[in-house]
A and B are shown apart, each in its own frame.
Chain A
Amino acid sequence: MSSLAATIAMFSTIWFGRMSYSVPLIIVISLVYAATRHEHMIPILQHARRFGTWIIAFMAVVFVILAFISIWL
């Protein structure tokens, strides 16, 4: 049981470690994309928040699909 917990802890550490590299990219892409659609800061920030949420949702869907594929393979 403890080895299972250790394995899960190890994989989650690796996964979160790798995924943390995506956070600055999501923020930057959302901000720059939104800023090319508006001129003022408030609409830019609102659009960036919506767009960032879309990116995360899209990545989550792709993750789930890949996870299912990896289970079957």
Chain B
Amino acid sequence: MDKIVRSPDSDDPVEVNLRNPMLAGILAWLIPGAGHLYQRRYAKGILFMVCILSTFIFGMALGGGKVVYASFRQPDVRYPYIAQFFVGAPALPALIQRQRVIGSRPPKKPLWNGFMAPPTQPIRESEDDELADWHRQLKSRFELGTLYTMVAGLLNILVIYDACAGPAFTTVVEEERKKKSWQDILWR
């Protein structure tokens, strides 16, 4: 049965049909914006798809395709991948590459010319290694690419929530209250 949410704002009534929210949430995780397209919320679906995928792709391009990889072995625990994972299907090749390079015995060669593959050699903090080489080649673009791809993943969490539960409507009354509370803080 379809789930319908309504804006609490009586001046601007909005009704949103979420259809099957669970399916929409899964689709929204898999491909950013796809959940909204399934719910026939086309404008928002396209907006989310363009914004999140372009941020992710731009980050990948900045980082030379090396900034999204999954590695959870010491000392190279790749925490940014937790955020990147929420972009969905575009970040999943990293898990396949991780399984091949780190998870299998003996280690297999990475697929797709090393795209989203973790460093093949173990990281040694005291020596020059593959990760250090990536940083040397890409300089600040490694961190910027990581940041962009992380932001894309974190934004998609908001999109998944929106697909599952509808917009977190802010009413005119709430906005007035927030404005007043800020004025109280600033001028008291």
User: What is A's interface to B at a CB cutoff of 8 Å?
Assistant: 18, 21, 24-25, 28-29, 31-33, 35-41, 43-44, 47
| Number of B residues, CB within 8 Å of A | 28
Determine the chain A residues whose CB is within 8 A of the CB of B168 once the complex forms: 36-37
A-B pairs under 8 A by CB, number: 57
Contact A28 B169, beta carbon cutoff 8 Å: no
Given contacts A24-B55, A31-B47, A31-B51, is CB(A37)–CB(B155) below 8 Å? no
Chain B 140-152: CB-based contact to A (< 8 A → 1; otherwise 0): 1000100110010
Most buried by A among B47, B159, B161: B47
B162 proximal to A (CB < 8 A) = yes
A18→B144 CA distance, assembly (Å): 10
B41 proximal to A (CB < 8 A) = yes
User: What is B's interface to A at a CB cutoff of 8 Å?
Assistant: 7, 12, 14, 16, 41, 43-44, 47-48, 51-52, 54-55, 58, 140, 144, 147-148, 151, 155, 158-159, 161-162, 167-170
